[in-house]
Amino acid sequence: MDVRVTDAGDVLAGVDMFAGLEPEARQRVVAAAVPRTYRKGQILFVEGDPGESLIILRRGAVAVFRTAPTGERAVLSVVRPPDVLGEVSLLDGSARSLSAEAIEDCTALALSRGAFIELVHASPRMLDAVMRSLGSLIRRLTEQNADHVFLDLPGRVAKTLVRLAGDSAAPMVTIELNQSQLAEMAGGSRQSVNQAIGSFASRGWLRTEGRRIVVTDLPALRRRAGMTDR
């Protein structure tokens, strides 16, 4: 078997959507997918584009956002490996409801809807995997809506940083995200978010290094966000 395909298949084993599939089924996904590369700042797709494919991110990071009529952006999530984006289009084939921009150089696999439908016929568990992924997406959006009701802006900034830090157990976590992007994710003005970041920095919870934020006290941010510490 081709080594490149085998390596990619092993990577899919870490992707929630495909982790429950048999190795042979993951290999079929890889064989049907097309490699993609995106430069930092490149738009992957915009709202209203045809929903033609699922994007499986292998390296880098992508911001998923909505744009208001005024041009203001609201970042809903930052997708990093081993995650996917565009899964809604696999089911209904409708236009994209969100936009996506690479915020780091990225490599990915693009699986067309047509190829996905063929794979579902060959392995019905594929559809179960997509449904689980959609369930996670809905839960995440529901939680974000609740955050805007129950958390003040500093609390939302803290929770956004915790989410971006992921499951890291390191004493310091570096987040490659500038404060404008953080403001878009937390749903506040850049000035207000800068004030929250400054307040956290004065408490020793983080520090800024140019376009990076280095979290030095993740448990403190979790407490400020009203989250149970690990």
Instruction: Please check whether residues 40 and 67 belong to one and the same domain.
Output: yes
Q: Has residue 137 been placed in a domain?
A: yes
Q: Has residue 17 been placed in a domain?
A: yes
* pTM of the full structure: 0.70
Instruction: Please check whether residues 170 and 192 belong to one and the same domain.
Output: yes
Instruction: Please check whether residues 115 and 163 belong to one and the same domain.
Output: no
Please identify, among 148, 182, 213, the residue that sits at the C-terminal boundary of a domain: 148
Instruction: Please check whether residues 83 and 96 belong to one and the same domain.
Output: yes
Q: Has residue 127 been placed in a domain?
A: yes
Q: Please report, for residues 30, 39, 223, the alpha-carbon distance to residue 202 in angstroms, rounded to integers and kept in the order given.
A: 48, 35, 16
Residue 42 three-state SS: coil
Instruction: Please check whether residues 97 and 110 belong to one and the same domain.
Output: yes
Instruction: Please check whether residues 10 and 117 belong to one and the same domain.
Output: yes
Please identify, among 148, 170, 204, the residue that sits at the C-terminal boundary of a domain: 148
Instruction: Please check whether residues 85 and 140 belong to one and the same domain.
Output: yes
Instruction: Please check whether residues 20 and 114 belong to one and the same domain.
Output: yes
DSSP state of 155: H
Do residues 184 and 74 touch, judged by C-beta distance below 8 A? yes
Residue bearing tokens 């089911």: 91
Task: State residue 3's pLDDT score.
Answer: 34
Q: Which residues pair with 63 in a beta bridge?
A: 78, 101
DSSP state of 205: S
Q: Which amino acid is at 214?
A: V
- pLDDT tens over the chain, length 230 residues: 333 334 454 668 788 778 778 888 888 889 999 999 999 999 999 999 998 899 999 999 998 998 888 888 888 888 888 889 888 877 778 889 889 999 899 999 999 989 988 888 887 777 787 787 778 778 877 887 788 778 899 999 999 899 888 777 777 888 887 778 888 888 888 889 999 999 999 999 999 988 889 999 999 999 999 887 55
Instruction: Please check whether residues 117 and 12 belong to one and the same domain.
Output: yes
Domain extent at residue 205: 152-224
Instruction: Please check whether residues 28 and 100 belong to one and the same domain.
Output: yes
Domain count within the chain: 2
Domain harbouring 174, CATH code: 1.10.10.10
Q: Has residue 230 been placed in a domain?
A: no
Instruction: Please check whether residues 157 and 122 belong to one and the same domain.
Output: no
Instruction: Please check whether residues 118 and 187 belong to one and the same domain.
Output: no
Q: What angle do CA 131, 140, 191 make, to 5 degrees?
A: 150
Q: Has residue 229 been placed in a domain?
A: no
